[in-house]
Amino acid sequence: MATIQAQTILRDPQLFYWILFPITAVMVLTGVLRHYATVLMQSDPKKQELNAISEQRNLLRGVNLRTNHNQIPLSSFIARKNYLVAAYNRGDFLKDPDNKGKPPANPMTDPAGMDQMMSMLKGNMAMMVPQTLIMGWINAFFSGFVIMKLPFPLTLRFKSMLQSGVATRDLDVRWVSSLSWYFLNLFGLRSIFTFILGNENSADQMAQQMQQMNPAGGNAMFAPGQDPNKMFLAEAENLEVVGGQHEWVLDGVVDRLLKTRV
Amino acid sequence: MGILKLLLSYLSIHPSPLRNPSTSLHLSQQAPAFLSSSESAKDTQETWLIYEQLLLSCLRTGDDNSARLCLQRLSDRFGVDSARVKALTGLYDEATSRSRGELEAVLQRYQDILKEDPTNMPIEKRRISLLLSLGRTEGAIKALTSLLSHSPNDAESWAHLSSLYFTQRLYPQSIFCLEEVLLILPNAYNIFARIGEVTYISASAGASNADQIEAFEEAIKYFARSVELSEWYLRGWYGLKLVTGKLIQAKPSDGTLGKMESLNQLATEKLVQIVSKFRRNVKGWTGFDEAEVLAAKDLIDRDEQKISR
């Protein structure tokens, strides 16, 4: 099979002004709009009670001990470990000691959970609504023709997605329609948004996706769907495990220092 | 340069201007100019940080009028009920009070605020400082301990508690608090040096000879770690030189004597380099604290005298 001759199509130079620019301009503007809309829609962080704060921070203390246990001598570590493990097992830091055995609060009924779910929902809406609108607009106005040639080859499977309006069998997959220009922009404009809006802008969908895929991140401890007692017990176990391998960072430090002298 | 940029660049060179009387003075002298300029109306995060620093430095140098104006603008922007603004207002009242009675009134105000809202951390910290100013160290220690029971991740409070214990000569407790700071900030080389210092001081203050030697060796390890983390850390080298010198004097013969002497030599070399480059104002070497450099020079000269004798 030889489609060695490159397929060339003559294109109207006006294409450039009437299609590529407008799509990019619209996407940049909606990105900026979305960013500011998200900023305005964010509700203030909810004020927490002292015992809730105490619960979270004391759990963090256990995590810190586990992470940095090599910085303190073994005896200090053991003293702290024993104290914390005993306290966690007894449930000393729990906000509601009576709720020990009960299942975690249902986000639907618990007001704290509600707020968090609402803000997640708002974020997702802010993402999806503009995307759908723009895609619909492009399909309505810019379908039925190809506008550019991709510099890299692709397999045949992409044909249906990237050449949506043009139903030909022989046309090389490298010729794509304006919808693919939209997709290219979607991923490529991230750096432009970072330039215009500063680092943590909400027009960045990648960061959001990564946050969703990383539930073990900071929010896990404070999410209402978790049972604090179980977390304390888990942390107590972790501390017991880590106690076996303690290498004080000060062991051999004099030798290390003298070695650098050479 | 606009005055805002000028102040920002000044603060980036001197990140803690209140430690030094000359930088505080310099900063507070800029205050009237800043307050009357139009740039002070800009609503950015940097502007408000500058306001806070100006407020503190003006109180330090006695410029109460500018301080009052800064405080006014901060409370207009953030509301009188903001936790931070309440703490700054309390600080202003403490600084401008003229009698012990007024200070006690401010203390009472803090307790009332805390009764209503026990989560107000800035006010809790202000109360602790006020207790210290009133001379009630034990009350301050108790208040700090209760703060740390609900917020054990606050490195600043642990460090503060450590210094309070140190003033009360409770050295093991002081070291415990410093270790807590290390758990939160494992690369804090200044804390390693501080633990070395406290270990050395507590050993010199009273242990038996054998314990002293052990404690000295431990102190040396802490200092070594601090310079391992930060190559030109003057306090670390100073401590190393001092304690290795003492150890060499105290221990006549042991396998580790050679190591101690090499350490001593290494520390001396580094200190000599720092002192000479600082004196000659070599570029990149002028950031050291002058008092510390003088102390280092003093130590070097003392040891040279001993050798030449």
In this prediction the ipTM stands at 0.82
Task: Report if residue A187 sits inside a domain.
Answer: yes
Structural domain span for residue B78: 1-87
Interface test with A, best of B145, B149, B151 (most A CBs within 10 A): B151
pLDDT of residue A41: 76
Quick check: A58 pLDDT over 70? yes
pLDDT of residue A216: 37
Please tell me the total count of domains within chain A. 1
Whether the full predicted model's pTM is greater than 0.90, yes or no, is no
- Please, which contacts does A113-117 make with residues 24 or more away whose CB atoms are closer than 8 Å? A113/A223, A113/A224, A113/A225, A115/A43, A115/A46, A116/A219, A116/A223, A116/A224
Task: Report if residue B222 sits inside a domain.
Answer: no
CA distance A92 to chain B (A): 11
Task: Label residue A220 by pLDDT band (50, 70, 90).
Answer: very low
CA distance B149 to chain A (A): 8
Task: Report if residue B92 sits inside a domain.
Answer: no
Contact across the interface for B183 and A53, Cβ inside 8 Å:
no
Task: Report if residue A202 sits inside a domain.
Answer: yes
CA distance B43 to B280: 43
- Which tens digits make up the pLDDT trace of B13-68? 777 878 778 888 888 888 888 888 877 777 888 888 888 888 988 998 888 888 99
CA distance B278 to B297: 11
Task: Report if residue A1 sits inside a domain.
Answer: no
Task: Report if residue B30 sits inside a domain.
Answer: yes
Nearest CA in chain B to A55: B150
- Which tens digits make up the pLDDT trace of A134-185? 888 888 887 777 777 778 877 777 777 777 767 677 777 777 778 888 888 8
Task: Report if residue A8 sits inside a domain.
Answer: no
Task: Report if residue A145 sits inside a domain.
Answer: yes
Out of A72, A254, A258, the one facing B182 most closely (by C-beta) is A72
Q: Is B176 on the interface with A (CB under 8 A)?
A: yes
User: In the numeric block, which tokens belong to residue A113?
Assistant: 């959970």
Task: Report if residue A108 sits inside a domain.
Answer: yes
Task: Report if residue B253 sits inside a domain.
Answer: no
Structural domain span for residue A74: 13-261
More confident residue, B219 or A202: B219
Q: Which of A21-25, B173-177, B220-224 has the lowest mean pLDDT?
A: A21-25
Contact across the interface for B263 and A257, Cβ inside 8 Å:
yes
Please tell me the total count of domains within chain B. 1
Task: Report if residue A93 sits inside a domain.
Answer: yes
Task: Report if residue B219 sits inside a domain.
Answer: no
Q: How far is CA A244 from CA A49, A247, B245, in A?
A: 36, 10, 37
Task: Report if residue B202 sits inside a domain.
Answer: no
Task: Report if residue A118 sits inside a domain.
Answer: yes
CA distance B266 to A261: 8
Quick check: B104 pLDDT over 80? yes
Nearest CA in chain B to A60: B153
Q: Cβ neighbours of residue A224 under 8 Å, at least 6 residues apart?
A: A104, A105, A107, A110, A112, A113, A116
Task: Label residue A219 by pLDDT band (50, 70, 90).
Answer: very low
